[in-house]
Structure 1
Amino acid sequence: MKSEITIVGAGIGGLSLALALEQKGINFRLYEQANSFEALGYGIQISPNVVHILEKLGLKKQLERLSHICLGFQLRSFNTNKILAEWKLDNKTPYYQCRRADLHQLLFDMIQNKGRIYFSQCLESYEQKDNHLYLHLKNQGSITAQAMVAADGINSVIRQSLFPQYQVRYSGYSAYRVILPFHRKYHFLWGKATVWMGKNHHVVVYPNGNEQSPESWLNLVLVIKERKSNDQSWSVPADKTALAQDFANHSNELNLILEDMIESPEPCFKWGLFIHEPLPYWSQSKVTLLGDAAHPMLPFQAQGAAMAIEDAYVLAQYLSNEKEMVEESFIKYEQARMKRTGAVQRLSRRNADIFHASGIKALTRNLILGLVSAIMPSLLNKRTAWIYDYKIENS
């Protein structure tokens, strides 16, 4: 496969693809609409299925230095603060948590030929004609490309071009993200991810950064049921005082975190959560989709970025087969990935109902979680083993 690959979007998926292509000796050009990388510091969970890939890309030692190791999970009641379930992870590969900005920067730093990355290049449209692609960029006019991968995110211009009638629907949930300096008083949260679950709310809290690092953080995601639809943008400023009032609860620990959130100078942002149905296909001739452009998902399984990194590595493997045309590689990549990403999309949607159950459903959930956690906690790992144990072998 001799074609140069044009990547649109330098998020985690786009950078992962650029790095994987470079390491396989495949030329790429990467276009990003932002003027530079924004240091978005919110947390990201790097589960074993992704650690496996990042280690193949040569990031093992760097990940160890910048990440907190998650050893297990704890589920608590939003109303009583009672521990509903807790269990240890049993995967031999680490489960990391770090700042999204740190992983983003790490991927960028690992790319050797940064002259192939172009900033301030916003794709407005494209067309396929005479076996060529013509990309129309806002600040550069038109350029030609041999093949294109859309890694341009949840509001993908390229996906909209492939599917003009594509529509999403509001999930009924809004989410808030904020990151706080990690204080000693939060030490009870170290080594795990903690979730408080309630009727109309749930809160996810986990540390970011290595314990030996001079600077560690606490990542906080708050989700609430709201009838009114909100923007999908991640950058709508939120009123932290009003937010803390909405999430008042019976946990002294969580209320302490919310008080610190109000006092912290760190901003809090809100975004609406929308349901995206799986697409019938991702590829059309010399164009294909990757990551959120292909399969946006609700954040209730923490696998959005993970699936984008998996996509990138699998796609690079197929493109490295010099006996195949790029169109064939795109189709094989799509066939290899669609079933798995669709299943993760569906699981993420089901988790929303589990986290926000009320009445009899909540009582049943709590009873089952308590029994399984006390008698056979390994069953809780089996529920996600098909995600975390997934390994991509080198082609």
Structure 2
Amino acid sequence: MSEKIAIIGAGIGGLTLALALEKKGIDFHLYEQANSFEALGYGLQLSPNVVRVLQNLGMSKNLEAISHRCFGFELRSFEGDRTLAQWKLDSDTPYYQCRRADLHQLLYNSLQNKHSISFAQKLTSYRVEGEEITLNFAHQDLVKSHALVGADGVRSPVRQTLFPQEKPQYAGYAAYRAILPFKAEYNPLMDKATVWMGENHHVVAYPNGNQNPWLNLVLVVKDSQWHQQGWTIPADKQEIAQSFKNKSKLLNTILTDLVSNPEPCYKWGLFDHQPLPFWTQGKITLLGDSAHPLLPFQAQGAAMAMEDAYILAHCIAQETSIQTAFVKYQHLRLKRTAKVQQTSRNNANIFHATGIKAMVRDMGLGLISLVNGQLLNQKTAWIYNYDPIKLVNI
């Protein structure tokens, strides 16, 4: 069995790469360790930079159908329920909020050749043998490929082989995620993303999806101790409500609903990784969290993976050598993703500021919002205005 490109990991980044390669007629095979796709309903924010990618891949109408349109942002304080800043987006390209499972399904449905995906295939090791790469899976015969892309997440086996000394580190934050049926009391949260900031913790809330929307919640707290690993560790909702108690009537209503609602709430530890010096070694490269794990404080994790995928596919199509294509891709992506990583870290400090730092933050945001809230768009312009389509057509 031999394919041109083997992709490890059928998450959003891996599926985007598969779709982009298929549209260019490039042979690939996608391997996923899970037995099937998990139908997790938690939310994603899709900023204009990545919406351009999805539109170019022919998903405009379907993406709009599964998404809630976000027109702006609001930053609030836990103390006194004050609005610190609010502003409207100034991009002509939409900013969407959708369920991760819906986007995942949309990408999968868009693939014409479903036989190019194999489930229940956990990569255990690989080795380079001349012009080919031999892949060892837990429950399959050896597979030979001409190239390998690791799109297999923060604990990527592909990356661990390339960089055995580099390990993801616990970033000092515990996060909780939940969804609630959207109801009339939540209407002030429509059409935007709202962030409440308090001492050492913050909450992000936004409508999730289009028809019969849900309220998506992410609650983050500084926590120096973390022992468990995983995305689906059940959380104590009563404990969360107590920990995040505040002076916002709306947020306290949401926390009360969180406790009483039968929908589960999960916790996970946030892991970080210093930017790697390179992603590519010969015919092997990395994509998404396997290359650059991101803290969720700029809502760019999925976006960076999809940008990677789109640009990597174009580089492969444009170059006659896979090694040259991988090096070109790395050159186009390395600095941008490292900058987004650092921005996400910086935002963690802003969101969780305490004491004098929190007072200075609140006063600064209030002043900017009073003078011209649109100035806050300049802070993210370098992220949202990025156009991968123009970049690869230069």
The answer to whether the 8 Å contact 1:125/1:157 transfers is: yes
Does structure 1 residue 293 correspond to structure 2 residue 290?
A: yes
- 1:170 deviation in Å? 2.1
Deviation larger for 103-112 or 74-83: 74-83
Q: Please give the alpha-carbon distance, in whole angstroms, between the structure 2 residues aligned to 1:139 and 1:85.
A: 53
Classify the secondary structure of the residue corresponding to 2:98: strand
Name the aligned partner's letter for residue 96 of structure 1.
Y
Choose from 289, 313, 334 the match for 1:338: 334
Structure 1 match to 2:187: 187
Correspondence 1:128-143 to 2 at 5 A: 128-143=128-143
Structure 2 match to 1:123: 123
- 1:308 deviation in Å? 0.2
The answer to whether the 8 Å contact 1:230/1:271 transfers is: no
Structure 2 match to 1:218: 215
Does structure 1 residue 273 correspond to structure 2 residue 254?
A: no
Structure 1 match to 2:317: 320
Structure 1 match to 2:28: 28
Unaligned runs of 5+ in 1: none
Correspondence 1:357-372 to 2 at 5 A: 357-372=353-368
- 1:232 deviation in Å? 4.6
Q: Please give the alpha-carbon distance, in whole angstroms, between the structure 2 residues aligned to 1:185 and 1:283.
A: 50
Classify the secondary structure of the residue corresponding to 1:384: helix
The answer to whether the 8 Å contact 2:203/2:218 transfers is: yes
Q: Please give the alpha-carbon distance, in whole angstroms, between the structure 1 residues aligned to 2:386 and 2:179.
A: 30
Name the aligned partner's letter for residue 206 of structure 1.
Y
Classify the secondary structure of the residue corresponding to 2:165: coil
Q: Please give the alpha-carbon distance, in whole angstroms, between the structure 2 residues aligned to 1:38 and 1:169.
A: 25
Classify the secondary structure of the residue corresponding to 2:298: coil
Classify the secondary structure of the residue corresponding to 2:171: strand
Q: Deviations over 1:92-148 (max 9, x none)?
A: 111000000000000000000001110011101111122210100001031111111
The answer to whether the 8 Å contact 1:3/1:326 transfers is: no
Unaligned runs of 5+ in 2: none
Structure 2 match to 1:206: 206
- 1:168 deviation in Å? 2.8
Structure 2 match to 1:90: 90
Q: Deviations over 1:271-309 (max 9, x none)?
A: 111221000110111110000000001000000000000
Q: Please give the alpha-carbon distance, in whole angstroms, between the structure 2 residues aligned to 1:348 and 1:145.
A: 35
The answer to whether the 8 Å contact 1:311/1:337 transfers is: yes
Structure 2 match to 1:99: 99
Choose from 254, 259, 269 the match for 2:256: 259
- 1:3 deviation in Å? 7.0
Does structure 1 residue 246 correspond to structure 2 residue 243?
A: yes
Aligned residue pairs: how many?
390
The answer to whether the 8 Å contact 2:3/2:29 transfers is: no
Q: Please give the alpha-carbon distance, in whole angstroms, between the structure 2 residues aligned to 1:85 and 1:360.
A: 18
Q: Please give the alpha-carbon distance, in whole angstroms, between the structure 2 residues aligned to 1:314 and 1:232.
A: 32
In the TM superposition, structure 1's runs of 4+ consecutive aligned residues that sit over 3 Å from their partners are: none
TM-score by length of 2: 0.97
Deviation larger for 378-387 or 231-240: 231-240
Q: Deviations over 1:166-191 (max 9, x none)?
A: 12322211101111111122111001
Structure 2 match to 1:10: 10
Q: Please give the alpha-carbon distance, in whole angstroms, between the structure 1 residues aligned to 2:174 and 2:17.
A: 30
Overall identity of the aligned pairs, in %:
58
Q: Deviations over 1:36-73 (max 9, x none)?
A: 01101100000000001100000000111111111100
Deviation larger for 179-188 or 324-333: 179-188
Deviation larger for 168-177 or 326-335: 168-177
Classify the secondary structure of the residue corresponding to 1:229: coil
Classify the secondary structure of the residue corresponding to 1:347: helix
TM-score by length of 1: 0.97
The answer to whether the 8 Å contact 2:87/2:376 transfers is: yes
Q: Please give the alpha-carbon distance, in whole angstroms, between the structure 2 residues aligned to 1:189 and 1:230.
A: 34
Structure 2 match to 1:229: 226
